[in-house]
Amino acid sequence: MCIEKADPALAHDSLAIYATRKPSIVREYARDTANHSYETIHSATFRNPLTWLQEQLAPKIREKATEEEIEASRKEMAQRGEESVYDTIPEPVSEEGPGGAGASKKKFAEHKYSTANFKISHRKLNKLGQQIAGKPIDWAIMQMEFSEKRVSKRIKSMLVTAKHHATNYKNLDTSKLIVAESWVTKGPRSQKRIDIKGRGRFGIKVHPDSRMHVVLKEGQTWNEKAEKLRQRRLNRIASAGLVREDVPLRNPRPMWAW
């Protein structure tokens, strides 16, 4: 059966049932109906309430509002006292003052991070700590990615999180981050279990736990270190024209050595 030829009584009953749930739909239908003339309402081509209700509830593609419409909507909401929470956030104070160009961000010198206590010997974990100490953060993450140690995945996850926090929360330069310090501590408690042995004897088996701490700082990259070493070696080279030969010898050897 076509929608336009549906029973008007059934349509009004459906609209009345839905009105008990959402009265705003009925007010919107009444406003749309009031815009039509008497001949249009009683003509055969006029849509019945059921058709109008289905069109209102049907999914539609929302058109993107323009900047003028968004500003007008914000002003209207502000007049009614229905401002959004994000519109009421104050402007950040810049370094030059309230009228400055950029917002002030505090920059820290270092960022400390650590793993949680997990079941591993501190001797085994200290081997990985020695491997990444003093290295760039990206190099340390790459080493943990291809390491065959079982705990390397956990250390890699910790390094990635520490790098993210240092960049976004401490405003440190990612390209200059290095693992300045790395050390391992024992956990607060170790599980002890009975180690069954022969002839009715037993021992105590200890399951240790430990954690790793790292400190990220901004340091020299490998290129900067290589350039500094090159300059230091070049400065050691003394040309023949720059060497003074008229100074007395220090600690001269004896004239006759035989």
Mean pLDDT to the nearest integer, 203-208: 93
Region class of 223: left (phi > 0), else alpha (psi between -120 and 50), else beta: alpha
Residue 1 is predicted with a pLDDT of 42
pLDDT digits (tens, 9 = 90+) for 129-152: 999 999 999 999 999 999 999 999
Exposure of 141 by Cβ count < 10 A (0-12 exposed, 13-18 middle, 19+ buried)? buried
Exposure of 112 by Cβ count < 10 A (0-12 exposed, 13-18 middle, 19+ buried)? middle
H/E stretch holding 218? strand 209-218
Residue 49 is predicted with a pLDDT of 78
Domains along the chain?
Answer: 110-225 (3.90.470.10)
Q: What six digits make up the tokens of 186?
A: 């024992």
Q: What is the pTM of this model?
A: 0.52
Other beta carbons within 10 Å of 108: 13
Query: Per mean pLDDT, which range of 15-19, 67-71, 110-114, 195-199 is the poorest?
Result: 15-19
pLDDT digits (tens, 9 = 90+) for 64-117: 888 898 889 888 888 888 777 666 666 655 555 444 544 557 889 999 999 999
The DSSP code for 88 is: G
Between CA 123 and CA 198 the distance in angstroms is: 29
Between CA 230 and CA 206 the distance in angstroms is: 51
